[in-house]
Amino acid sequence: ERKDVLYTFFFLLSLIFYTIYCKSKRRKMLLYVGALLLFLLALLSKPAAVTLSMVLLLIDYLLNRLLVQAEPGGKKDAGMLSRINRKVVAEKIPFFVLSFIWGYITINTTRSIAEGDTFSLMERTLFAFYGIVTYTYKLFVPINLSCFYPFPRLEANGMLPTIYYIAPLITCVLLYFVYRSIKSTKIVLFGVLFFLFTIGLTLQFFPVGPNIVTDRYTYVPYIGLFFILGMAFVWLIDQKENKFGVFKVLSAVVLAAFSIWCITLSRERCEVWTNSETLWTDVIEKFPNTSE
Q: What is the 3-state secondary structure (H, E, C) of 18-65?
A: HHHHHHCCCCHHHHHHHHHHHHHHHHHHCHHHHHHHHHHHHHHHHCCC
Confidence at residue 142, expressed as pLDDT on a 0 to 100 scale: 93
Q: Could you read off the pLDDT of 187-209 as tens digits, one per residue? A: 999 999 999 999 998 888 777 77
Q: Could you read off the pLDDT of 136-182 as tens digits, one per residue? A: 999 999 999 999 999 988 887 878 999 999 999 999 999 999 999 99
Residue 52 has pLDDT above 60, yes or no: yes
Alpha carbon distance 173, 171 (integer Å)? 5
Q: How confident is the model at residue 105 (pLDDT cuts 50, 70, 90)?
A: confident
Q: Where are the alpha helices (DSSP H) in the chain?
A: 2-23, 28-45, 52-62, 86-90, 93-110, 121-140, 163-181, 187-199, 222-238, 245-272, 276-286
Whole-model pTM? 0.88
Which amino acid belongs to residue 289?
Answer: N
- Greater confidence (292 vs 69) lies with 69
Alpha carbon distance 280, 291 (integer Å)? 12
Q: Where are the alpha helices (DSSP H) in 141-206?
A: 163-181, 187-199
DSSP 8-state code for residue 242: G
Terminal Cα distance for the chain, rounded: 21
Residue 77 has pLDDT above 50, yes or no: no
Confidence at residue 226, expressed as pLDDT on a 0 to 100 scale: 95
Q: How confident is the model at residue 78 (pLDDT cuts 50, 70, 90)?
A: very low
